[in-house]
Amino acid sequence: MSRTKRNVIRITVVFLLFLVICTFVSRAVYNSTLIKVTTTYVRSGIITHTAETEGTILYPDIARVRADENMKILETLCEQGDLVTAGDPLFVGDPHYYVDADSLALQIMRLEFQVWSLDEQLRTAPRSMRESLERQKELVLFELDMLIKNIPEDVTVRAPFDGLVNYVISDEESIVGAGVLLAEIIPLEGARPEAVFYLSAEDERRFFLESRVMLTFADEERRSTISANVTKKEWDRERERYVFYAEMRTDDLSLHERRVSVYIVHGDEQHDKVVPASIIFKDEMGEAVFVLTYRHGLFGTEHFVRKVNIDVVDRNDSYAAVSGISLPIGAEVIVSHSAPLFNGDVVWPAT
């Protein structure tokens, strides 16, 4: 091979190497100008909602013992925390509080004497006077019957069932009116306390029956946590909000009216498409995400972004369940980018 030919080959190789180096340099320079992005994949998953609030533990079957009529309490036979049996006396009232017993007894004696006197007259009275005497006797007997009905009986208030006395009226309130609350009794058998709580307007629509609840309360010695489920969700007309009830599996009667910290969790439904909530943005067409797509470009395969509109089915602070025909499971979506993105921008995925 002649020297000239060898020189031509050397020059050609050097030129080709120069072109390759220029290509790599150009591509590196080009890539350095691109927007850097990080991605993740559309996956199936569960959207979990959580909320925290404060509530009160109540026994729903508690008995409220009230005064049947106006009364004066002479003696209180129970204290808060006492265990009572059905029929046990709780309060003893004054039977003469609104009745003059001495005066009543004299009136009864007078009427009984009138009845005896009329009976004696009827034995000897002529037939013409009998009808008049019988009418007088009927009137006296009627008046006597009405007075006897007013004879005061034993005014004792008794426990309706076996239970724990939770509340007792103050000793200072010795004179009470009809319907006044005298005591509260929590039943010993079959009673289950409920944690009663409210959530914010935004949170209350996210939680339903069977939502999981963690209830934490403290006493003098330690903090205790009980797990439960929401058993009722009812509309409170007075507050115009939903009230939640979570039945607790405990027989600790001392928990009644105890304040409790509530941590509620709900998330049982499996969603086909879940993405980070932070990547969703809004435009004139609604909510959307950027999807990473591939195509052939000047320097081989290049990456660019495509805007895909979606519908958000459910979301929490971290993730969102979405739907949309243009967003398949496994699609690579943009999580972060080094500069503002627009539909069709060529980008460089960070490795």
Type of residue at 234: E
DSSP characters for 171-222?
Answer: TT--EE-TT-EEEEEEESSS---EEEEE--HHHHTT--TT-EEEEEEE-SS-
pLDDT in tens, 214-228: 999 887 677 888 999
pLDDT at 7: 65
Please give the average per-residue pLDDT across 230-255, as a whole number. 89
Q: CA gyration radius for the chain?
A: 44
| Average pLDDT over the chain, rounded to an integer | 84
Alpha carbons 173 and 182: distance in angstroms, whole number: 10
Q: How confident is the model at residue 31 (pLDDT cuts 50, 70, 90)?
A: low
CATH superfamily, domain 51-61+190-269, is Efflux pump adaptor protein, beta barrel domain (2.40.30.170)
pLDDT at 108: 76
Contact 320, 277 (CB under 8 A): yes
pLDDT in tens, 77-124: 999 889 999 999 999 887 766 555 556 667 778 888 888 888 888 788
Tokens matching residue 86: 């059905």
pLDDT at 1 over 60: no
Please give the average per-residue pLDDT across 196-218, as a whole number. 89
Residue corresponding to tokens 């190789």:
13
CATH class as words, domain 34-47+271-349? mainly beta
Tokens matching residue 28: 């590196």
Please give the average per-residue pLDDT across 51-80, as a whole number. 88
**What is the CA angle 164-166-168, rounded to 5?**
115
Alpha carbons 39 and 336: distance in angstroms, whole number: 7
This model's pTM is above 0.85: no
Alpha carbons 231 and 250: distance in angstroms, whole number: 15
Spatial CA neighbour of 244 closest among 198, 194, 193 = 198
Please give the average per-residue pLDDT across 329-344, as a whole number. 91
More reliable by pLDDT, 254 or 1: 254
pLDDT at 224: 86
Please state whether beta strands 346-349 and 35-41 pair in parallel, antiparallel, or not at all (unpaired): parallel
Instruction: Looking at the chain, list the stretches that DSSP marks H as alpha helix, in order from N- to C-terminal side.
Output: 3-32, 101-124, 127-149, 201-204
- Determine which helix (DSSP H) or strand (DSSP E) holds 335, and give its type and residue range: strand 332-337
Alpha carbons 55 and 58: distance in angstroms, whole number: 10
More reliable by pLDDT, 193 or 123: 193
Phi, psi of 6 (to 5 degrees): -65, -40
Tokens matching residue 21: 């180096």
Report how far apart, in Å, the C-alpha atoms of 33 and of each of 21, 27, 30, 336, 338 are. 19, 10, 5, 17, 11
pLDDT at 35 over 70: yes
The DSSP bridge partners found for residue 99 are none
pLDDT at 310 over 90: yes
Alpha carbons 310 and 47: distance in angstroms, whole number: 17
In the chain, where the domains are located:
1-25, 34-47+271-349, 51-61+190-269, 101-149
Residue 12: partners with Cβ closer than 8 Å, 6 or more residues away = none
Contact 281, 293 (CB under 8 A): no
Per mean pLDDT, which range of 125-134, 234-243, 337-346 is the poorest? Answer: 125-134
pLDDT at 30 over 60: no
pLDDT at 141: 83
pLDDT at 206 over 80: yes
More reliable by pLDDT, 18 or 59: 59
